[in-house]
Structure 1
């Protein structure tokens, strides 16, 4: 498994000039090359630049690396295109066979499930950063230093297929269209279902997904397409959504706009799902296969919650909001390199979970077991730099064996969370601090 990570780095950084912003940089021979800089950000431990540099040099047992200062690192890194880390991540997924039919990766009735969503990331609160991300204060209010992160994740296997960092107030839909364009070589379109929440009610998004022969499920707002929904009497029915001039006018993609200007409506499927608390939610989809019943759509939409747990792992386990620079380009480098690390971690986690449960079944133990996330991340941060910098068969064999033994000997047993019925307090009819005069 380690070889995929090293090969992904080697394959992408070979044409180094493609990811160097200034063609005059990284030209002369140096013991700390462009590849070394990129590798450093791929495997650093996320403490401080100085501490990470010292660890990186110490992890090189061959002593081939030249010691550099954090000032030199800060000076050179601004000439590294952050997209190099996204390309390494995509190459890693290709090398592990993710873009092909592969039984190692989980599916739902033969489909891969993807969740699209955005999250607000805290960024360093410096004037230069605020200016770069378009954060403008008002006379009475200083806005928080935040950026928008839009991504598409595999809900069953945990991988981030694509992520884009944008300005805090940037609209999520244009970013999601970019996400979709960026993942075409990683998915099997006709076996892909994209699941969205209420923030993605948009005709152009539906048509974009349909144009690549994929499927979508989106939760509707209460007032979305209210005229068309008025005539629907069943919980599972076809619906024709009119392609009015006002709706077509909102399209930004010229080819999609031209194509659907000729159409009168979109023929879709609408479902009303009853939740456990008695409330209902409405889903819109282009999946007409009757093998997918209402209970399936309820389960599928609930799986979208996986994207929230993935964001939690990135923020609280991998510390994706811990930055090592104060410029837009360095913030992008930190975020994109960490979601690369997240994909590597996720692949190891999936593999170890499979290995652990197979071992537990042989022992006659029932239930679902999982590797300890925090322990696995800690060990990967320790072992991966050593294996990357010293790729000898003996070192790789030794550290891989240590990693497997360490991460599989004490797994966590997954237990179903108990749901407690809430007893909401009655709303007071008066202010508790009110004093009659």
Structure 2
């Protein structure tokens, strides 16, 4: 275990220590009543149980959890009374603490030419079919039915596989409207990659204003400037466009006061796919020698990492299998899943050098199996929060060695025609080729 991971896990281990009355009031409902007396379900045990993701029957999960502690299990009714006393804000803040501590502890976090590399994308998530959950999170509605669901806007570190930010919103508001106000709070010295759903000139204006850069895929018929660029056959072109229309209105709704027709200097980059199709990328990376047009295309290709991350959340960590049927319980499960994903990524990053040393003479490049290791980390988490310092460190070293025994070769495959499937409700968790649940 490297010093970076040891420090990271120590900071996370200490977060549930609510040492002040202000912290108790912030995270516990009626703090003068709850978690004040001796009980098998202390605050730390309740938190550890929720963070290890309850995906099976609650009674079975409690049996396994307390069995690992050498104690008799409590009833699921007792647990339900305890988790209701913890505010969802605790798990939200714990998730953001996992992000902050990662970049504090892992100074060697991967970068591209000293830039962090992020992708911004959204996904929908079906929630338990309860009316009050739909009233809290919103509904997805068609001509036949309406189903409680939420939209999740993720800002995802492509090179370190860390979820930097997660924003929950309803189906009735577009992702781009939530992406705009986020830019102010995102790290500088970073490049943010967006797909066609975010096309426009408002995001480049905001990124430039707040000291970061972006790459956005544009429809080839978006504007006369883009159409003329596609026809020209040039690999890239510097353009100056006026700030007008929807972008200007949205920026003013954020409280900014850009001038109408404010000139915005940007760069268009042409990408030709093997199929002959032409893509157009808009970027604020203006230096042609340092950021060659081929490199811009390669960077956009890395955006697929956020799609893989979303797939891991939904398939391996089974995001749709919510364990509660109340609005606070749903929030707890969502934030706990994001937190778990980041902790797993930190553990795998810690093993990266050891993995390369073990596989350097093999024909294929190898990666650590995220599905199997998620199951191993789930069973290790109680040790992190509930064991003494020497025992949790020893168990963590055993865990990290075990992660390296679950390697799978990465075999590049030729490009295939994408077959679109309609994923209905929880179909994803019924069958996946070459995949079995590790939870």
* TM-score tier (shorter): 0.7 to 0.9
Which protein is bigger by CA-based radius of gyration?
A: 1
The answer to whether the 8 Å contact 1:165/1:332 transfers is no
Matched, 1:36 2:45: yes
The answer to whether the 8 Å contact 1:8/1:89 transfers is no
Q: Alpha-carbon deviations, 1:315-358, whole Å to 9, x = none? A: 11111111011122211110110110001111112222331111
Q: Provide closer, same or farther for how the CA distance between residues 214 and 99 of structure 1 changes in structure 2, counting only shifts above 3 A.
A: farther
Alignment of 1:59-70 (within 5 A): 59-61=68-70, 68-70=74-76
The answer to whether the 8 Å contact 2:156/2:165 transfers is yes
Matched, 1:338 2:337: yes
Q: Provide closer, same or farther for how the CA distance between residues 378 and 230 of structure 1 changes in structure 2, counting only shifts above 3 A.
A: closer
The answer to whether the 8 Å contact 2:216/2:281 transfers is yes
Matched, 1:238 2:238: yes
Identify the residue that residue 393 of structure 2 maps to in structure 1: 396
Q: Alpha-carbon deviations, 1:142-186, whole Å to 9, x = none? A: 13432111110001111101112222333212332454455x4xx
Any gaps of 5 or more consecutive residues in structure 2?
419-439
Q: Alpha-carbon deviations, 1:112-136, whole Å to 9, x = none? A: 1100000011111222222333327
Identify the residue that residue 60 of structure 2 maps to in structure 1: 51
Structure 2: how far apart are the matches of 1:100 and 1:195?
25
Structure 2: how far apart are the matches of 1:387 and 1:100?
17
Q: Provide closer, same or farther for how the CA distance between residues 410 and 342 of structure 1 changes in structure 2, counting only shifts above 3 A.
A: closer
Q: Provide closer, same or farther for how the CA distance between residues 410 and 161 of structure 1 changes in structure 2, counting only shifts above 3 A.
A: closer
Matched, 1:17 2:22: no
How far apart are 1:222 and its partner, in Å? 3.1
Q: Provide closer, same or farther for how the CA distance between residues 247 and 381 of structure 1 changes in structure 2, counting only shifts above 3 A.
A: closer
The answer to whether the 8 Å contact 1:19/1:81 transfers is yes
Alignment of 1:188-199 (within 5 A): 189=188, 191-199=189-197
Q: Provide closer, same or farther for how the CA distance between residues 151 and 83 of structure 1 changes in structure 2, counting only shifts above 3 A.
A: farther
The answer to whether the 8 Å contact 1:12/1:87 transfers is no
Matched, 1:84 2:90: yes
Identify the residue that residue 109 of structure 1 maps to in structure 2: 113
CA RMSD of aligned residues (A): 2.7
- Of 249, 264, 267, the match for 1:266: 264
Identify the residue that residue 300 of structure 2 maps to in structure 1: 301
Identify the residue that residue 377 of structure 2 maps to in structure 1: 380
Identify the residue that residue 211 of structure 1 maps to in structure 2: 209
The answer to whether the 8 Å contact 2:268/2:282 transfers is yes
The answer to whether the 8 Å contact 1:44/1:52 transfers is no
Structure 1: how far apart are the matches of 2:202 and 2:42?
44
Any gaps of 5 or more consecutive residues in structure 1?
423-437
Q: Alpha-carbon deviations, 1:208-227, whole Å to 9, x = none? A: 22222000000012332x13
TM-score, with structure 2 as normaliser: 0.83
Q: Alpha-carbon deviations, 1:351-371, whole Å to 9, x = none? A: 22331111233xx33542212
Structure 1: how far apart are the matches of 2:416 and 2:202?
40
Matched, 1:169 2:172: yes
Structure 2: how far apart are the matches of 1:420 and 1:7?
44
Counterpart secondary structure, 1:213: coil
Structure 2: how far apart are the matches of 1:252 and 1:80?
38
Q: Provide closer, same or farther for how the CA distance between residues 174 and 23 of structure 1 changes in structure 2, counting only shifts above 3 A.
A: farther
Number of aligned residue pairs: give it: 405
Q: Alpha-carbon deviations, 1:180-205, whole Å to 9, x = none? A: 455x4xx3x0x200000011124332
How far apart are 1:83 and its partner, in Å? 3.0
How far apart are 1:230 and its partner, in Å? 5.1
Structure 1: how far apart are the matches of 2:202 and 2:171?
22
Identify the residue that residue 311 of structure 1 maps to in structure 2: 310
Counterpart secondary structure, 1:109: coil
Q: Provide closer, same or farther for how the CA distance between residues 246 and 334 of structure 1 changes in structure 2, counting only shifts above 3 A.
A: closer
Counterpart secondary structure, 1:41: helix
Structure 1: how far apart are the matches of 2:404 and 2:105?
28
How far apart are 1:45 and its partner, in Å? 4.7
The answer to whether the 8 Å contact 1:59/1:389 transfers is no
The answer to whether the 8 Å contact 1:152/1:179 transfers is no
Q: Alpha-carbon deviations, 1:71-104, whole Å to 9, x = none? A: 23333434433232232233233334x158822x
